A and B are shown apart, each in its own frame.
Chain A
Amino acid sequence: MISLQAIVDAVSLGGLYALAALGVALIFGVMRLINFAHGGLIMLSAYGLWLWSAYPVPLTILLTVGVAVVAALAMERVAFRPVRNADMSTLLVASFFVSSLLQNGWIGVYGSLGKSVSVFPGLLDRFDVAGLSIYRLDLVTLGTTAVLLATCSLVLTRTLIGLQIRAASENFVAARLLGVRADRVIPAAFAMSGVLAAPVAILLVARTGYVYPGIGLTPVLIAFLATVIGGMGNLLGAVAAGFVLGSLTTALQSFLPEAAAAYRDAFVFGGVLLVLVWRPGGLLPTKFEAERV
């Protein structure tokens, strides 16, 4: 039964990273910015969770999402709006700086030791189905990812702002010529990414019980890689890639022999490199990436 169980384990982490990738890919689509500071949003949400863990559940969730959205909007307004028109590499470097500011700012004020907190302990209930161990948290993660992906999709296809976001992703200049306000579209995308960052933090903290400044680094690193190998600008591709990377990490942990298990991450990154070399445009490349001479 171990291989089925391994799949169940893998799928859970895959779902979490898919969610993280979605948040990063959304901003990338609209601004060509791979937002490394998304990890900072996850960090702030996690600390918010620690602060408000004693409140009733709906309020806690609302406040946590609120913190992420406010931080995302502030980030956009203060740090990214002035560099909006820069090239992708500059934007990436800028997001790197913002991420460092957030993390070191936090450490400067609160120190680097984490805080432990128990939230939603019921999520760790386990039930056995046909010999497999499944945690409620795994189901909630998958459910949340699916719901948020569907919601994002609906917002992007059925609402005006969503349409504007998609137009801006296709061709920003043309969209503006047609009346799409950059100052509406980009903040909207950032707000959405905030809404996507908070659940990642909640699910992480529910499982680990520990909040520390670097908590957002691993998810955002995977999201980073997923955005590129998924096919830049392709939301579905990024989500799929995030899922695959998360699942691969867990699967390798299950299957690698003891001596090699500590090298697990090297294999995951090696896998990323292989994908990039085999399909430079990503697994599901979008049109804009393939320019022709």
Chain B
Amino acid sequence: MATWAWAGGGAAGRALALPAALILGVAAVATAVTAFGGPGLSEELTTALVFLVIVVGLYTFVGTSGIVSFGHMAFMGVGGYSFALMTVPPHLKGLLLPELPAALRLLSVQPVVAAVVAGLVAAGFAAVVGWPLMRLSPLAAAIALFAVLNIVFVVATQAYGITRGQEGMTGVPASTSEWTALGWAAVAIAAAYAFQTSRVGLRLRCAREDELAAQAIGIGVVLERFVALLVSAFIIGVGGALFAGLLQVVSPGAFYIDMTFTTIAMLVVGGMRSLSGAVLGTALVFAVQEVLRSLENGFDVGPLSVTSLPGLDLLGVAALGLLVLMARPSGVTGGRELL
């Protein structure tokens, strides 16, 4: 990247300003929270950063191709389960998954390497299932990916010998610290930016706006979408790995409708069409969610006392998402980058 800055001079320098600004901004917030917040806040910060990786991964496909994938959590799940299988200590795997083949049971990989491998496995899976789907119309592709998510969910809940089904796999060592998450968030932002400004990415974004016009100037869309799918699956697969290393447990329900809903809401609120939107949207929705969570146990408004309101955070996020769509459908950033 440094050589580009030299060679391209001012233009390239300005171009790199966006990812740099986003990364520095996120890092600044992270440092401030760690320095001044308590341990609880630190925990939430790490979670927010992991969500950032996931949403940036989602954006890399949704934002560039315009296809609102309802199935990306399948790739996140594949990444998460792969990471778990690689990092749960062998003796625990032996106890929890007695039918696991010895090769998998004895597998034990460093978390950072495991995260990369998890991303690659997710991308590989996306390559296999996604290739035939990329020539579908945007709505059909969205639904097809949703069907993929459902298939992965059913398999995850029933293939007990590998996944422990509904019970999930626990015992994943805690490997996602704030700094791990921050590091990967920076990588994700850089990768997403690199993709969207690459030739493939630019062609895809052009086709997103008007598929017919793009075809008229000779841009096929299928290959570009496929590349976007692979890159986004890698990033979101890593996100799944980070999620597993944070929660220390993977279960099918964690990679299904609720996660789909939350991450799409984050993308929508921020603005689906820009990377800045993905970052801002995650921060905003996460903050709203946490505030609402803390209110769930009841609060006082002057003389009124409101007792517990369970599910308030999901309600609030849904309401927020809807309001954004109604008032400003292109999201807080208006679909434009900050710089």
Chain B residues with CB below 8 A from A289, complex form: 137
Cβ of A94 within 8 Å of any chain B Cβ, yes or no, is yes
Which residue of B212, B261, B327 contacts A96 across the interface (Cβ within 8 Å)?
A: B261
Chain A residues with CB below 8 A from B67, complex form: 89
- Encode contact with B along A66-87: 1 for CB under 8 Å, 0 otherwise: 0000000000000100110010
A263 adjacent to B154 (CB under 8 Å): yes
Which residue of A88, A265, A266 contacts B138 across the interface (Cβ within 8 Å)?
A: A88
B322 adjacent to A94 (CB under 8 Å): yes
**Chain B min CB distance to A126 (Å):** 31
Which residue of A107, A232, A270, A273 contacts B310 across the interface (Cβ within 8 Å)?
A: A107
- Chain A interface size band reads 35 or more
* Given A89-B66, A108-B309, A293-B216, also A266-B329 (CB < 8 A): no
- Chain B interface size band reads 35 or more
Which residue of A101, A224, A293 contacts B322 across the interface (Cβ within 8 Å)?
A: A101
Which residue of A107, A225, A266, A293 contacts B155 across the interface (Cβ within 8 Å)?
A: A266
* Given A108-B311, A273-B148, A293-B212, also A93-B136 (CB < 8 A): no
* Given A97-B325, A266-B155, also A224-B143 (CB < 8 A): yes
Chain B residues with CB below 8 A from A232, complex form: 139-140
Chain B residues with CB below 8 A from A282, complex form: 140
A-B pair count, CB < 8 Å, reads: 121
Chain A interface main SS type: helix
Cβ of A90 within 8 Å of any chain B Cβ, yes or no, is yes
Which residue of A98, A100, A280 contacts B135 across the interface (Cβ within 8 Å)?
A: A280
CA of A85 to CA of B150, assembled, Å: 30
CA of A107 to CA of B155, assembled, Å: 28
- Which residues from 241 to 293 on chain A have a C-beta closer than 8 Å to any C-beta of chain B? 262-263, 265-266, 269-270, 272-273, 276-277, 280-282, 289, 291, 293
CA of A202 to CA of B325, assembled, Å: 33
The residue in chain A whose Cβ has the minimal distance to the Cβ of B296 is: A108
CA of A233 to CA of B169, assembled, Å: 43
The residue in chain B whose Cβ has the minimal distance to the Cβ of A289 is: B137
A266 adjacent to B154 (CB under 8 Å): yes
Which residue of B133, B143, B264, B326 contacts A83 across the interface (Cβ within 8 Å)?
A: B326
Chain B residues with CB below 8 A from A111, complex form: 310
Chain B residues with CB below 8 A from A280, complex form: 135-137, 140
Cβ of B142 within 8 Å of any chain A Cβ, yes or no, is yes
Cβ of A92 within 8 Å of any chain B Cβ, yes or no, is yes
CA of A34 to CA of B315, assembled, Å: 21
**Chain A min CB distance to B14 (Å):** 31
Chain A residues with CB below 8 A from B216, complex form: 293
Cβ of A228 within 8 Å of any chain B Cβ, yes or no, is yes
The residue in chain B whose Cβ has the minimal distance to the Cβ of A88 is: B139
The residue in chain A whose Cβ has the minimal distance to the Cβ of B62 is: A89
Chain A residues with CB below 8 A from B68, complex form: 89-90, 92-93
B315 adjacent to A105 (CB under 8 Å): yes
The residue in chain A whose Cβ has the minimal distance to the Cβ of B216 is: A293
Chain A residues with CB below 8 A from B155, complex form: 263, 266
Cβ of B312 within 8 Å of any chain A Cβ, yes or no, is yes
Cβ of A104 within 8 Å of any chain B Cβ, yes or no, is yes
CA of A86 to CA of B269, assembled, Å: 15
Cβ of B265 within 8 Å of any chain A Cβ, yes or no, is yes
Cβ of B29 within 8 Å of any chain A Cβ, yes or no, is no
The residue in chain B whose Cβ has the minimal distance to the Cβ of A273 is: B147
* Given A92-B139, A293-B216, also A265-B318 (CB < 8 A): no
CA of A289 to CA of B138, assembled, Å: 11
CA of A104 to CA of B322, assembled, Å: 14
B147 adjacent to A225 (CB under 8 Å): yes
A90 adjacent to B325 (CB under 8 Å): yes
The residue in chain A whose Cβ has the minimal distance to the Cβ of B314 is: A104
Chain A residues with CB below 8 A from B144, complex form: 272-273, 276-277
Chain B residues with CB below 8 A from A270, complex form: 147, 151
CA of A273 to CA of B151, assembled, Å: 10
CA of A93 to CA of B311, assembled, Å: 20
B147 adjacent to A93 (CB under 8 Å): no
Cβ of B319 within 8 Å of any chain A Cβ, yes or no, is yes
Cβ of B132 within 8 Å of any chain A Cβ, yes or no, is yes
CA of A98 to CA of B317, assembled, Å: 11
CA of A206 to CA of B326, assembled, Å: 38
The residue in chain B whose Cβ has the minimal distance to the Cβ of A274 is: B132
**Chain B min CB distance to A86 (Å):** 5
Chain B residues with CB below 8 A from A98, complex form: 318, 322
CA of A257 to CA of B326, assembled, Å: 49
Cβ of B57 within 8 Å of any chain A Cβ, yes or no, is no
- Which residues from 79 to 135 on chain A have a C-beta closer than 8 Å to any C-beta of chain B? 79, 82-83, 86, 88-90, 92-94, 96-98, 100-101, 104-105, 107-108, 111
Which residue of A86, A262, A263, A293 contacts B325 across the interface (Cβ within 8 Å)?
A: A86
Chain A residues with CB below 8 A from B261, complex form: 96, 100
CA of A96 to CA of B319, assembled, Å: 11
A97 adjacent to B136 (CB under 8 Å): no
Chain B residues with CB below 8 A from A105, complex form: 315
Chain A residues with CB below 8 A from B198, complex form: none
The residue in chain B whose Cβ has the minimal distance to the Cβ of A105 is: B315
Chain A residues with CB below 8 A from B325, complex form: 83, 86, 90, 93-94, 97
B154 adjacent to A265 (CB under 8 Å): yes
CA of A93 to CA of B144, assembled, Å: 15
10 contacts between A and B (CB under 8 A): A89-B68, A92-B142, A94-B326, A96-B261, A107-B311, A108-B311, A224-B146, A232-B140, A263-B154, A280-B135
Given pairs A101-B315, A266-B150, A276-B136, 7 additional interface contacts (CB within 8 A): A79-B326, A89-B68, A100-B318, A105-B315, A108-B310, A269-B154, A277-B136
Top 8 A-B residue pairs of the complex, sorted by shortest distance between their CB atoms: A82-B326, A89-B68, A266-B154, A100-B318, A269-B147, A97-B322, A277-B132, A101-B318
